[in-house]
Structure 1
Amino acid sequence: MTKAKKSLVCWALLSPFLLVVLFPYATMLSTSLKQKDEIFTFNRTWLPRELYLGNFAELLFEKGFGRALANSLAISIGATVLSLAVAIPAAYALTRMRVPAKGALTNYLLITQMISPIVLIVGLFRMFAYFGLVNSLLSVIIAHSAFFMAFAVWMLQSYFATIPKDLEEAAWIDGAGRFSAFVRVFLPLCLPGIVVTAIFTFVNSWNEYAMSLTLLRQVSQQTAPVQIAFLTGTLYQIEWHLIMAATLLASVPVAIVFASIQRYLIGGMALGGVK
């Protein structure tokens, strides 16, 4: 069987699953392009009578959803960068150096992932209130990075273990120090794993709701998930046209991130299986 035929067979087998995955996005797009009175009708149609962009304009300019998207983007990027800045050297130390009670520490990192943020939300609020960081995006960035850091260390440690130590030792023999070998030899080989960890950290931070709702009290500081939740109670009714438009806009940044670094994602998910 030729490569083209194999590709055609694979697409034919995966097409039902592709429809299931794309159906929610198609529903969001169809509903967000309809006017409010067109949604609740007995003779509903899949396509809108006319393309109506007023829902997006109302969201961005009247509801302030554009600012919420910017807040979510700033928080997610900040939390991802801060988590990786701590997780990369921590995972490297657990993989390459002698760390006392390494097994207990890795188990502790795994156990922390079983704790829900809701359990600690009151303590977090009181701590950030003491330092005057309530209503600050920095407080959410710190909180997100603290919760997602253990996951990042766990992910990176499993990937770093697949990198042969002989490559670093060869760099040491050539005169490179540990830090130089780490930056110039080790990190480029670990780029797929780092990208995958960054993606999961970014998505978890982007979708987080409870801590953002608790620590950000002003409307101008709200994130996209919080504003989408508030749309369900607007004027004692669910405004599906706005909710679908907001959900579609909130899904676009994550889709762009996945599409732009797809090749790193595929390589990183293999976790070094071909090395």
Structure 2
Amino acid sequence: MSKARKSVLCWAALSPFLIVVLFPYLTMLSTALKQKDEIFTFHRSWLPREFYLGNFVELFVDRNFGRALVNSLTISVGATLLSLAVAIPAAYALTRMRVPGNSALTNYLLITQMISPIVLIIGLFRMFAYFGLINSLMSVIIAHSAFFMAFAVWMLKSYFATIPKDLEEAAWIDGASRFSAFVRIFLPLCLPGVVVTAIFTFVNSWNEYAMSLTLLRDVSQQTAPVQIAFLTGTLYQIEWHLIMAATLIASVPVAVVFASIQRYLIGGMSLGGVK
């Protein structure tokens, strides 16, 4: 069988799944480009009468959705960097050093992933209120990092275990310190795994709703998921034209992140599957 025929058969087999994946985005795009009175009509059509961009203008001008996107981006990037800053050395220590209670600590990290953040939301609110961090983006960054850090350590530990110790030992023989060997030899080899962990942490932080709603009280501090949820009750009606436009815009940063570092994502997933 020729390569072209195999490619056609593969795409034909994947086309149903592709339709299922793309259908929500096509629905969002179609609704976002329609005027309000065009959505709830008896004879609906996929294509709008005219491509109406007023929904996006209203979001950014009247609803201050651009500020919400900046807040979400600030929190997600900050939580990702803070989580990796702690998870990378922690995973390295659990993989390469003799840490007392290594197995128990690893199991504990796994158990923490079974606890929903909503269970601890009242305690988190009282703690951040005590330190005067309510209505501060830093409080959400710290809270997200605390919950996603265990996942990052667990992911990176499995990636780090695939790197042969001989490479570091060769660097030590050549006179490099442990830190120098870690930065120059070990970490570049683990870059795909670090990128995959960063992606999952970023996406989890970007989509998080409960902690952002609880810790951020000011309208100007709201994140994109919170502001999208508030659109469902505006003026005693569900403004689907604005919700679809906002959801479409909110999905763009995640899609850009996945597309820009796709090669690291594939390499990191294959690295974690080989022991």
Taking structure 1 as the reference length, the TM-score comes to 0.98
Alignment of 1:56-75 (within 5 A): 56-75=56-75
Q: Distance in 1 between matches of 2:2 and 2:188?
A: 35
The yes-or-no answer on 1:174 pairing with 2:174 is yes
Q: Which amino acid aligns with 2:46?
A: W
The equivalent residue for 1:102 is 102
Match of 1:113 in 2: 113
Question: Within 5 Å, which residues of 2 pair with 1:147-162?
Answer: 147-162=147-162
Higher mean Cα deviation, 48-57 or 3-12? Answer: 3-12
Q: Which position in structure 1 is the counterpart of 2:230?
A: 230
CA distance in 2, matches of 1:20, 1:145: 33
Q: Secondary structure at the match of 1:175?
A: coil
Q: Deviations over 1:39-81 (max 9, x none)?
A: 0000110000000000000001100111000000000000000
Residue matched to 1:93? 93
Q: Which residue of 2 is the match for residue 13 of structure 1?
A: 13
Determine if the alignment matches structure 1 residue 28 to structure 2 residue 28: yes
1:9 CA displacement: 1.6
1:243 matched residue in structure 2:
243
The equivalent residue for 1:216 is 216
Secondary structure of 1:156's aligned partner: helix
Percent identity over paired residues: 87
Kept in 1: contact 2:34–2:50 (CA 8 A):
yes
Q: Distance in 1 between matches of 2:150 and 2:211?
A: 17
Distance 2:166 2:260 in 1: 32
Residue in 2 aligned with 1:198? Answer: 198
Aligned length, in residue pairs = 275
1:19 deviates by 0.6
Q: Deviations over 1:249-272 (max 9, x none)?
A: 100000000000000001111125
Say whether residues 1:127 and 2:132 are aligned partners. no
Q: Distance in 2 between matches of 1:5 and 1:273?
A: 30
Q: Partner letter of residue 219 of structure 1?
A: V
Q: Give the SS at the match of 1:182.
A: helix
Contact 1:59 1:246 in 2 (8 A): yes
Residue by residue over 1:200-247, the C-alpha shift from the partner in whole angstroms, topping out at 9 and shown as x without a partner, is 000000000000000000000000000000000001110000000000
Q: Would you say the 8 A contact 1:88–1:156 is kept in 2?
A: yes
- Contact 1:28 1:247 (C-alpha < 8 Å) held by counterparts: yes
Native 8 Å contact 1:109 1:150 kept in 2 = yes
Deviation of 1:27 (Å): 0.2
Distance 2:199 2:89 in 1: 18
Shift of 1:174: 1.2
Q: Which residue of 2 aligns with 1:188?
A: 188
Equivalent residue for 1:42? 42
Q: Structure 2: how far apart are the matches of 1:143 and 1:272? A: 27
Q: Distance in 2 between matches of 1:52 and 1:41?
A: 17
Distance in 1 separating the partners of 2:252 and 2:271: 27
Unaligned runs of 5+ in 2: none
In structure 2, distance between residues paired with 1:272 and 1:103: 19
Shift of 1:15: 0.9
2: CA distance, partners of 1:196 / 1:109: 19
1:80 aligned onto 2:75: no
Deviates more, 1:32-41 or 1:165-174: 165-174
State the 1:274 CA deviation.
Answer: 6.0
Q: Secondary structure at the match of 1:248?
A: helix
Do the aligned residues in 2 keep the contact of 1:163 with 1:272 (CA within 8 Å)?
Answer: no
The 2-side partners of 1:145 and 1:31 are apart by 35
C-alpha separation in 2, matches of 1:23 and 1:173: 57
What 5-or-longer segments of structure 1 have no aligned partner?
none
Residue 2 of structure 1 and its aligned partner are, at CA, apart by 2.8
